[in-house]
Structure 1
Amino acid sequence: MKDVFTSGDIKAMDAHEIALHNNELELIRRAGSLVAQAICSHASRRRAVFFCGSGNNGADGVAAAATLAELGWETRVYAVRLGQGEAISRLYTQYRMKSGREVLPLPSNDGIPPYDVVVDALLGTGARFGLEGDYLRAARIINRLGESGRVVAVDLPTGVSADTGRAHENAVRADLTVCLSGFKPGVILYPGAEYAGEVLAYQVIPSPLLPSRRRYLFTRSDVHSLKRSRNTHKGDYGRLAILGGSMEMPGAALLSAEAALRSGAGTVTLLSDPETARVYAHRVREAMVRPVAAPHDMPALLQGKTALVMGPGLGDGPRVYELVAEGLSAGMPTLIDADGLNALARGGPEILLSASGPLVLTPHPKELSRLLDTELRTVVEDPLAAVEEAANRFRCTVLLKGAVTLIAGAESTLFSNRGCAGMAKGGSGDVLSGVIGGFLAHGAEPQYAAAAGAYLAGVAGEAAMARYGSTAMTPYHTVECLHKAYLPYES
């Protein structure tokens, strides 16, 4: 997993390092060297113009320009505002000595000629959201020069929020973002990810002060092996129950069941109201079907099961909250999605605190806003804060769906950025519930099950889009392509 640090994390890490070693100038030079290294590896021509702010981000830019000048590059540095202090003064002197040029103020007109590389070192993680004055003008100049040159952003594009990914309408559009001291949420979350381009992350501080809540980008190498021993049977891979389906939405539970079976669950049993169960009996092949006549039937039906999924297509009838309450008392790993979450929001999500087994909640932003009793806008504008608040409040793993999936547990938050536009269709969440349920059934730890499930379902969705296109693909096509996501981990 790759480290992700918020603006608050970075501020604390830098302050601790400087207080401990009194090495601010050394850190800036190290950061500048890493930026220069990234530029050299991504540019064939050797002409670069830098736009630098007055803070640490601008200092990193000046240090990078000095390094490139020493390597023989033609460089020009424009400062929106000249930085203050001994460290930045020494950097200006170093740049002048190595390039033979002064650091220039931003010109009053837009007459800067084209360059091969255009470097955005205006504002870093410590900047408040928004653009105005000379910073706004500089961002517009960078975007104009980017039409003919390659734009490289230092740490994150100017105008993008480091923690939320919100982007100003004139935010810098980078081709490459060089993150210093790990990834920032703003270059992973949308719309910030669209402004960041390709992202490289380097560690500037060798042994940083780590935050109490760790955050990571979940990647291909984080998925555990799926290879099975030859001498096994279905009981070794768990028995999953899915409480879902209704006459109004019969397909949701079917998608979950199929996804769970294709995600390794030894057996899958669909639990539905008697009328829907009769329909399923004629449509389901590998899964078993059991009718649930009343909430008090649940304990007997869950005997011997190793995990439970509740919610896909369950409907909003008067018994749903009681059914969910019975499931929470079953003492097994449980995932709650869709109508299960809506029932909790109506009846009181505090019941989650009485669950006798580990929980995974998988809301989309609207469902999460209901659980937290807040406005949808609050979740959309700061999804990281919202999902972590929910994980802390309900003491469980919470997966927030979106173009980037966030998975918050007790001590850490994981980001998964796999998936595609073709998955933005009703039923994709039901597929995800089944995939995660399959992992829970055969014993995966809840946060890992949620993260691996989101990652692999995203890979399968990408494979489906490659075959059918984003318009024509359906959630079942994602189910069909799960094998393409899993096969690399079975060897």
Structure 2
Amino acid sequence: MKVSKGELIREIDKYSIEKLGIPSIILMENAALGVVKHLMLNEKEYYVVICGRGNNGGDALAVTRHLIAAGKKVSVFSIGLNPMSKDCGVNHDILCNMGVKITNISNVEDIEFLRDSIIRSDVVVDGIFGIGLKREVRGVYDLAITVINETSKKTISIDVPSGFSGDTGEVFGNCIKASKTITFETYKRGFLNYGSHEYTGEVVIEKIGIPDFVVDKYHNKEFFLERKFIQKKTKERALYSHKGNYGHVMVIAGSEGMTGASTIATKAAVKSGAGLTTLISCEDALQAVRNFVPEAMWKKNDDSQGIETLMGKVNSIAIGPGLGKSNETLNNVKRVLKNTDGTIVIDADAINVLEGKTNLLKEAKGNVIITPHPGEMARLTGMEIKKIQSDRIEIAKEFAREYGVIVVLKGYNTIITNGEVSYINPTGNGAMANGGMGDCLTGIIASLCAQGYSPMDASCIGVYAHGECGDKVSEHKFVVTATDIIDNISKTIKELT
């Protein structure tokens, strides 16, 4: 599933119209038909359609025609005094020729008439503003949106909820709170932002007759992860195989008073399929692992020679969970970056000690995956968390490109990017919001890297499987813990093969 900004849609529309010769009114008609599919014609009888003066309004007017043709009762409202776009005008004239009354909203009395109509209706179709909106919603627009939100039983928005930025997720003062948003060709970037679901409701993508090669021509390689994609990437285990076929993970984690993180990361690596797993840590953490993860091996963190030797043999290293923000942690990160040919997964305190020292990432011999949450990303970049959250994809992409790493920016719709190709993960839920989840994910990704998956594939599979496992467990539990994930991750990965 492709993700894009609004400018891409404008480009592909322009190419389809000017180069392929597809009339713009045909694209509008196809958009309307895509919306009508979701209007529950078998269940609902009375619709209110409210349209602006641009092409989004034209889509809504075309939807009105199809509703009337289906024998439905429809009240149609137009809002604004600007001249209509060409195609909006065509559909407006068709309705007028059919004898359909279109009420223009220009004052408070019209707003009250709109309110009365919505109260009597089953569904409201929102076609006021599309992806081109850049200004604050004011005046009668503001009043109309408020009335819709207060009185509509079910609101369907066309392309984006009116008042919502499809690029950034910003709300321009006031915004429709849709039950469902029918968008076209691609998932809009703004839908990924925290809180966007409050306005979009369920998001459905409809094609409007633009060939895939045109979309691909302008698309910037941002995708939603889908189960079929992950299933193609995830491999069955060979019948005749042994532990040596599935790699060796080194986990550098844990410190006095923070032994749980090392146990979680180590056990997650074991349970997600690493052939061998070795924890490097303090005595307290090693004792916990000896008790709870008997499958893992271990070395005490003061065995410098043994650790150096092992570093040259392992396939991947996970570093950071529970280490503490100290000079010792920083020295460990430096040593790993300079001496490891395998893939390095950097998490938690191993990220925190890179604050102001991110150039160290450029010295890495092997591939690097960093797995920050927004707070850690803010420390790495020097940006405020609010800024990180407002443009997560672009910030993650820029960081990945500059430092030559893969960024797994955790949170709602986790971003996975190498700076060129980006994936957005749809799995996971609020029941997973508790300590240890990140440590668990780090162990899973490092394990998959050791098993021979590319760093990008390991990140995508790990993030998707981690979230899907949490989704399944949460069907029966109010809170899902890292231990719940570890206990079920092997089954989830098996199902993905």
Over 3 Å counting, the alpha-carbon distance change for 1:310 and 1:480 in structure 2 is same
1:173 is aligned, of 177, 180, 186, to: 177
Q: 2:352 — aligned with what?
A: 342
Further displaced range: 168-177 or 450-459: 168-177
Further displaced range: 368-377 or 76-85: 76-85
**Contact 2:55 2:87 (C-alpha < 8 Å) held by counterparts:** no
Counterpart of 1:120 in 2: which secondary structure? Answer: strand
**Contact 1:463 1:481 (C-alpha < 8 Å) held by counterparts:** no
Counterpart of 2:442 in 1: which secondary structure? Answer: helix
**Contact 1:274 1:293 (C-alpha < 8 Å) held by counterparts:** no
1:481 and 2:480 aligned: no
1:413 is aligned, of 412, 422, 433, to: 422
**Contact 1:164 1:384 (C-alpha < 8 Å) held by counterparts:** no
Structural mapping, 1:37-436, within 5 Å: 37-40=37-40, 44-81=43-80, 83-98=83-98, 100-106=99-105, 108-109=108-109, 110-112=112-114, 113=117, 114-128=120-134, 130-146=136-152, 149-167=153-171, 170-204=174-208, 205-207=210-212, 208-210=214-216, 211=218, 213-224=220-231, 225-273=234-282, 276-277=285-286, 280-293=289-302, 298-329=307-338, 330-346=340-356, 348-436=357-445
Shift of 1:250: 0.7
Further displaced range: 69-78 or 336-345: 69-78
For 1:236 and 1:367, the matched residues in 2 are separated by 34
Question: Please, which runs of 5 or more residues in structure 1 have no aligned partner?
Answer: none
Q: 1:467 — aligned with what?
A: 476
Q: 1:26 — aligned with what?
A: 26
Q: Please tell me the residue identity of whatever aligns with 1:341.
A: I
Q: Please tell me the residue identity of whatever aligns with 1:160.
A: F
- Deviation string, structure 1 residues 23-65 (Cα, Å, up to 9, x no partner): 2222112211211222246x61232211112222222111221
**Contact 1:295 1:322 (C-alpha < 8 Å) held by counterparts:** no
Shift of 1:295: 6.5
Further displaced range: 214-223 or 480-489: 480-489
Tell me the TM-score normalized by structure 1.
0.92
Counterpart of 2:354 in 1: which secondary structure? Answer: helix
Shift of 1:130: 4.2
Q: Please tell me the residue identity of whatever aligns with 1:478.
A: I
Q: Please tell me the residue identity of whatever aligns with 1:49.
A: V
Shift of 1:282: 4.6
Further displaced range: 228-237 or 285-294: 285-294
Shift of 1:486: 2.5
For 1:488 and 1:283, the matched residues in 2 are separated by 26
Further displaced range: 130-139 or 418-427: 130-139
Tell me the TM-score normalized by structure 2.
0.91
- Deviation string, structure 1 residues 189-209 (Cα, Å, up to 9, x no partner): 321123222221012222424
- Deviation string, structure 1 residues 200-243 (Cα, Å, up to 9, x no partner): 10122224243352111112212234422221111111111111
Further displaced range: 436-445 or 288-297: 288-297
Q: Please tell me the residue identity of whatever aligns with 2:188.
A: K
Counterpart of 1:481 in 2: which secondary structure? Answer: helix
Further displaced range: 294-303 or 232-241: 294-303
Counterpart of 2:59 in 1: which secondary structure? Answer: helix
% identity of equivalent residues: 28
Q: Please tell me the residue identity of whatever aligns with 1:436.
A: I
Shift of 1:161: 2.5
Counterpart of 1:101 in 2: which secondary structure? Answer: coil
Counterpart of 1:435 in 2: which secondary structure? Answer: helix
For 1:166 and 1:450, the matched residues in 2 are separated by 29
Further displaced range: 453-462 or 64-73: 64-73
**RMSD across aligned C-alpha pairs, in angstroms?**
2.2
**Contact 1:16 1:209 (C-alpha < 8 Å) held by counterparts:** no
Counterpart of 2:39 in 1: which secondary structure? Answer: helix
For 1:487 and 1:231, the matched residues in 2 are separated by 17
For 1:425 and 1:168, the matched residues in 2 are separated by 33
For 2:291 and 2:283, the matched residues in 1 are separated by 13
Q: 2:14 — aligned with what?
A: 15
For 1:169 and 1:270, the matched residues in 2 are separated by 52
For 1:403 and 1:151, the matched residues in 2 are separated by 24
For 1:186 and 1:325, the matched residues in 2 are separated by 37
Shift of 1:484: 4.4
For 1:53 and 1:401, the matched residues in 2 are separated by 38
Q: Please tell me the residue identity of whatever aligns with 1:181.
A: E
Over 3 Å counting, the alpha-carbon distance change for 1:19 and 1:295 in structure 2 is farther
- Deviation string, structure 1 residues 315-356 (Cα, Å, up to 9, x no partner): 11212122112212311111111011001114x111112212
Q: Please tell me the residue identity of whatever aligns with 1:343.
A: V
For 1:131 and 1:400, the matched residues in 2 are separated by 32
For 1:401 and 1:132, the matched residues in 2 are separated by 36
For 1:144 and 1:223, the matched residues in 2 are separated by 41
For 2:162 and 2:14, the matched residues in 1 are separated by 22
**Contact 1:397 1:407 (C-alpha < 8 Å) held by counterparts:** yes
**Contact 1:57 1:121 (C-alpha < 8 Å) held by counterparts:** yes
Further displaced range: 47-56 or 267-276: 267-276
For 1:64 and 1:157, the matched residues in 2 are separated by 16
**Contact 1:164 1:383 (C-alpha < 8 Å) held by counterparts:** no
Counterpart of 1:319 in 2: which secondary structure? Answer: helix
- Deviation string, structure 1 residues 443-470 (Cα, Å, up to 9, x no partner): 1122222122111111221233233313
For 2:464 and 2:43, the matched residues in 1 are separated by 35
For 2:192 and 2:95, the matched residues in 1 are separated by 33
**Contact 2:318 2:442 (C-alpha < 8 Å) held by counterparts:** yes
**Contact 1:261 1:438 (C-alpha < 8 Å) held by counterparts:** yes
Question: Please, which runs of 5 or more residues in structure 2 have no aligned partner?
Answer: none
For 2:257 and 2:168, the matched residues in 1 are separated by 37
